[in-house]
Every structure is written in C-alpha cells, then in structure tokens.
C-alpha cells in the first residue's frame, strides 16, 4: 500500500516524544503517504509509526545537487497520492517536467493541475486558492523548483541588492500565510530546491544553503537532503564485446530537519532512469548488508547470489509485500538497540 489509513487505530508510537522544532507542524497521522522508498519512509518516521512515511498537513523541502533525484522523488510521492484518490497541483517554474518520463514513476500527468508560475507570490496565491475535488484523503501540492521562482521586482528587471532580500521576504510572508492552510486542509506540500555553497559561512557556519532565505528552514516540518549521488553502470556483452551504460543513480538521503521524529537518519535510494525508485533492489541489499547471509534472501531463505535473479523471483512470485515487511522488522530490530533505556527525568525529580 502506498497510503495507509490509521483513523481508528493509531500506532502507540505516534504518542512517543519527538524532536520538536518551533514553527513546524508534526503532521496528521490518520493517513500516511509513502515516498516510494521503504528505507526513506522508515528514516522519516519509522520510529513513530510502523513502516514510516509522510503524514498529511506538512511542508516538505527536498534539496541537493542536480541529478540527485529530487524531481523523481516528487513524482513518486505525487503518484502515490493519486493512487490513493488524491488530487495534485504541480507547479513547474522551469517548465522542465517531462510528462512521459513522470509517468514511469507513477504520476498520471493527464490528471494533475499543472502550471508554470513565474514568481513566489503567484505560486503561493495559487496554492491558497486551490480547491481540490477529492475529499477525505491527502491532496498534494508540488513545486519543482523553488530556486527558479522570481519576484515582481526581478520580473520588472529592477535588479540590485534588493533582489535577494525581496525574494526571501516574499517566501517568508507567503509561507506564514500558507502553512496553516496546508495544515487545516490536511494537504501535503512538497518542494524541491537547489543547494549552493555558502561563501559567508566562516569556519563554523553552515557550508551549504538553499535559495529563499530562512523561510523553509523555519516552516518546513521535514527537510530532506540528497547527497553522494553515485552512477549505476550496467555492463553487458554483445557480439563478444563488453558494452556499458549509465542506467541510474544511488543517492543517500538525510533527514536534515524534522519535527516528525528524530533528525539525521539516512537512507539509500536507488533510482533507475527508465523505472523510478527501485525499492525491491534497495530492500534486498539492506537485508543482505544487515544479516549474516552472503546471498540475497527473503524470510530467511536464499533467493539467489545474483541481484537481478533475486529481483525476478520477488516480482514473479508477488513477494514485494513480504520483502517490505522483512525490511521493516529488521530495521526496527536494529533501531531498538539505540533506544534509550534510562529512567525518564521527571520520575527522578
């Protein structure tokens, strides 16, 4: 399931103490949306609700260098919302969304409300005025990318020192006016952003920053940073000669900020260009890496030494859910070893 409804029975973990950050909402856990990656879902809220995922009513910023899978992740999340019956508003300031490409990742672009806004204010006015048709489920708002949004000053070619400050001010004002609406309507607002080197950081300052000032750092309930993108190369032999192609990337995503659960958990996300997020591959590798087995396994039984053959077995026999459950249980077992066993402070006072 890409979305899990928990309206009648919320997991006890939802009531656990979490890492609170001022200005950000901790989310509505009656409905959970998957990112498309089991391990990333767990890194986000796995210690709070079984299987993890994204709750409704929050603002999410995904940032990192180019080719780290930001747009793919947006499309996967949007597609999962669609599959659960939700509507999608997709802002594409750079007009770069390849609709045929997005379909590979589960997003039906024929069923989305699509626009190419120019400015920060135009984008957020559109968000606040949006009236999705679907009710009783999470509806999604996506912006790819924030760095491409301009200001009215910039569009009027009134350039100068005011430009950066004006955009930051616009983001701050518009997020302040929009955050409570997202929360009250139980919508999910997910944005992508670029990462830039902060030349004024100094010795102990933050080395990297994102366009838009401090607004998203304050109002986003979750900030995911993609880094260390590594190319995936496939080699085959044709006519006696070896040929190689780059077929995807493996990206490490870090929970950079979270008011949902603990920050700084990380998860590998494997993305194939003609497939999207390869959750089966990542899950099989996770089990192999964190158990005593030297081959790919499921339910303690050997599948194959070859990853591709193991994937074929999982798909042909419909074992995707079993594999996911294995990963969740193993992840929880590992995570439990890091739980604090100390007496709560208030009991000793």
Rounded to an integer, the average pLDDT of 280-308 is 96
Query: Structural domains in the chain?
Result: 3-277 (3.40.50.300), 280-337 (no CATH)
Percentage of the chain modeled with pLDDT above 70: 84
What is d(CA 315, CA 311) in angstroms, rounded to the nearest whole number? Answer: 6
The region of weakest confidence among 30-39, 59-68, 334-343 is 334-343
Residue 250, Ramachandran bin (φ over 0: left; ψ between -120 and 50: alpha; else beta): beta
Radius of gyration of the chain (CA): 21
Q: Residue 207: its pLDDT value, please?
A: 60
Beta pairing partners, 197: 208
Beta pairing partners, 1: none
Please say whether the dihedral angle defined by the alpha carbons of residues 101, 103, 106 and 109, taken in this order, is positive or negative. Answer: positive
* pLDDT surpasses 90 at 129: yes
pTM, full prediction:
0.88
Q: Residue 318: its pLDDT value, please?
A: 97
81-97 confidence digits (pLDDT tens): 999 999 999 999 988 88
The region of weakest confidence among 20-29, 105-114, 273-282 is 20-29
Q: Residue 336: its pLDDT value, please?
A: 93
Q: How many CB atoms lie within 10 A of CB 322?
A: 13
- Burial of 233-249, coded b for 16+ CB within 10 Å and e otherwise, reads eeeeeeeeeeeeeeebb
What is d(CA 139, CA 190) in angstroms, rounded to the nearest whole number? Answer: 11
How many Å separate Cα 220 from the centre of its chain? 13
Rounded to an integer, the average pLDDT of 125-153 is 89
* pLDDT surpasses 60 at 3: no
- Higher-confidence residue of 173 and 345: namely 173
Q: Residue 161: its pLDDT value, please?
A: 41
| 99-106 long-range contacts, CB within 8 A, separation 24+ | 102/75, 104/274, 104/275, 104/276, 105/36, 105/72, 105/75, 105/76, 105/79, 105/276, 105/277, 106/36, 106/75, 106/76, 106/79, 106/80, 106/82, 106/276
Average pLDDT, the chain: 86
In 259-300, DSSP assigns E strands to 266-272, 276-277, 296-298
In the chain, DSSP assigns E strands to 3-5, 28-33, 54-56, 59-64, 88-91, 113-115, 140-143, 188-194, 196-197, 208-209, 222-238, 241-258, 266-272, 276-277, 296-298, 301-304
* pLDDT surpasses 70 at 21: no
166-212 confidence digits (pLDDT tens): 888 999 999 999 999 999 999 999 999 987 655 455 555 556 667 66
What is d(CA 88, CA 113) in angstroms, rounded to the nearest whole number? Answer: 6
What is d(CA 208, CA 198) in angstroms, rounded to the nearest whole number? Answer: 5
Beta pairing partners, 210: none
Q: Residue 250: its pLDDT value, please?
A: 96
Q: 3-class SS at 15? A: helix
Confidence at 104, pLDDT banded by 50, 70, 90: confident
Rounded to an integer, the average pLDDT of 319-341 is 94
* pLDDT surpasses 70 at 301: yes
* pLDDT surpasses 80 at 65: yes
């Amino acid at each position: 399931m890409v979305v899990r409804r928990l309206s009648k029975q919320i997991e006890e973990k939802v009531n656990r103490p979490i890492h609170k950050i001022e200005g950000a909402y901790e989310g509505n856990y009656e409905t959970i949306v998957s990112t498309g990656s089991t391990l990333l879902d767990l890194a986000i809220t796995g210690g709070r609700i079984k299987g993890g995922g994204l709750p409704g009513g929050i603002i999410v910023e995904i940032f990192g260098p180019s080719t780290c899978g930001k747009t793919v992740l947006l499309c996967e999340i949007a597609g999962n919302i669609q599959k659960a019956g939700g509507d999608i508003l997709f802002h594409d300031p750079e007009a770069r969304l390849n609709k045929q490409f997005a379909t590979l990742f589960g997003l039906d672009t024929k069923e989305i409300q699509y626009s190419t806004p120019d400015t920060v204010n135009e984008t957020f006015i559109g968000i606040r005025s949006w009236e999705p048709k679907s009710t009783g489920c999470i509806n999604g708002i996506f912006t790819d990318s924030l760095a491409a949004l301009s200001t009215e000053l910039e569009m009027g070619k009134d350039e100068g020192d005011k430009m950066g400050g004006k955009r930051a001010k616009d983001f701050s004002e518009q997020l302040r006016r929009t955050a409570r609406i997202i929360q009250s309507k139980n919508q999910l607002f997910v944005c992508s952003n670029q990462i830039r080197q902060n030349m004024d950081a100094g010795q102990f300052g933050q080395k990297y920053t994102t366009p838009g000032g401090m607004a998203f750092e304050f109002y986003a309930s979750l900030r995911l940073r993609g880094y260390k993108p590594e190319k995936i190369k496939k080699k085959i032999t044709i006519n006696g000669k070896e040929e190689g192609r780059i077929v995807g990337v493996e990206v490490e995503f870090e929970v950079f900020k979270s008011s949902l659960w603990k920050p700084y958990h990380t998860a590998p996300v494997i993305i194939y260009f003609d497939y999207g997020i390869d959750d089966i591959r990542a899950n099989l590798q996770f089990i192999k890496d964190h158990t005593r087995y030297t081959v790919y396994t499921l339910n303690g039984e050997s599948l194959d030494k070859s990853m591709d053959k193991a994937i074929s077995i999982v798909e042909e026999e419909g074992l995707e859910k079993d594999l996911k459950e294995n990963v969740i249980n193993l992840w929880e077992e590992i995570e439990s070893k890091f739980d604090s066993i100390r007496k709560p402070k208030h009991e000793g006072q």
